[in-house]
Amino acid sequence: MALFKRRNKPPEEPDSPSAPEPEVTEAIEEVPPEGSAGVPEAPAAPPAGEYRKVRIERGAKGWGTGLTIEPKAGKDLIYSVTGGGIHPVAQRIADLTGGTPFDGFKSKASFDEIAVAVIDCGGTARIGVYPMKGVPTVDVIGSSPSGPLARFITEENFVSGVGVEHISLVE
């Protein structure tokens, strides 16, 4: 809890002499940013060109046995295809591994450059596209294999229901 001093100026009365301003000290509770509860802080990123391995476990109502991801030179994109920029799950993976976060809606990259795709699909399209192309896929929605590309989704290339709290550094 942090203490801050706030000076409150009393209302001025027309014919009264000027009195010193009283000092008021109040306690203000520091609140962690939303969504950060239970998530350990990311260690410092590895030096440029070096990568670390992470384990990504399935979340509540998720599917899969989990994935271990380690980017490498030339295949270091943490590809976020969730709309609205880089998803917090993709950012956490990038922070821990040293990979490069990449917004798949704003620009495109070759499947060969993608270390992992982070999606938000509970339907039939994106859920199977990346597994079909051999790209490990993390779905932030608790979905299971479905749609015409379901045959490409396996426990070796797909995990779902993932939140930032399901990602940990492999030592």
Which strand (E) or helix (H) includes residue 141? none
- Indicate if 121 belongs to the active site: yes
Tokens encoding 83: 């709309």
Q: Which two tokens stand for residue 143?
A: 């979905």
3 state SS of 118: strand
∠ CA 155-127-90, nearest 5°, is 85
Separation in Å, CA 144 to CA 16, 69, 77, 82, 99: 75, 20, 24, 17, 26
Here the tokens at position 167 are 């990602």
Q: Choose, from 56, 121, 129, 140, the residue flagged as catalytic.
A: 121
What is the rounded CA–CA span in Å between residue 28 and residue 141?
36
What one-letter code names the amino acid at 51? Y
C-alpha pair distances (Å), 116 with each of 12, 112, 137, 161: 64, 10, 6, 15
Which residues are marked as active site? Answer: 121
